[in-house]
Amino acid sequence: MTTPRKRFRVLLVCTGNTCRSPLAEAALRDALGADRGRVEVRSAGTSAMEGEAASEGSQRVAEADGFDLSSHRSHRLTREDVRDVDLVLVMERHHRAAVEALGVDRGRVKVIDEWPAPGDPGSPVSDPFGGSPEAYEECWRRIRKHVERIVPHVRESLRAGSS
């Protein structure tokens, strides 16, 4: 009898869970390709209001690339969200502190532009909320770039977990 393979769990965290983390969630699922069924990808916000739609700007930039965020609803980060997560990717350092305050081991929490080392510290993912269309486009471009760097490390974790 074989034991079912555990899914790798990734949580993406920003502030309101209406701009950056929903975009990162969509980008990561897409970039995982054939491995997406082996990875649970969710998002939350440190100060999110429950049930809000993704921002209009995020929906627009995602839609331009063929992604549909219309069903996204914001979720406030809770202790239960991080209980069994393998990797938490946060948009900014202050999000890291909020996640760690919920009891998550520092080794499982990574700032998206800093991991894997040396990261791409010249490309922080700033919050575009209320900003121009160009701010949303730049946010989306940076998220996609960071996700492409991160996916090989998620796949490596999948390989390590299946041996």
Give the 3-state DSSP-derived string for 82-101, with helices as H, strands as E and coil as C.
Answer: HCCCCEEEECCHHHHHHHHC
Overall residue count recorded for the chain in this entry: 163
The catalytic residues are 14, 20, 127
- The one-letter amino acid at 106: R
Number of helices and strands in the chain (H, E): 5, 4
Sheet hosting strand 8-14, strand order edge to edge: 39-45, 8-14, 87-90, 109-111
d(CA 17, CA 72): 9
- Tokens 């510290």 correspond to what residue? 121
How many CB atoms within 10 Å of residue 146? 25
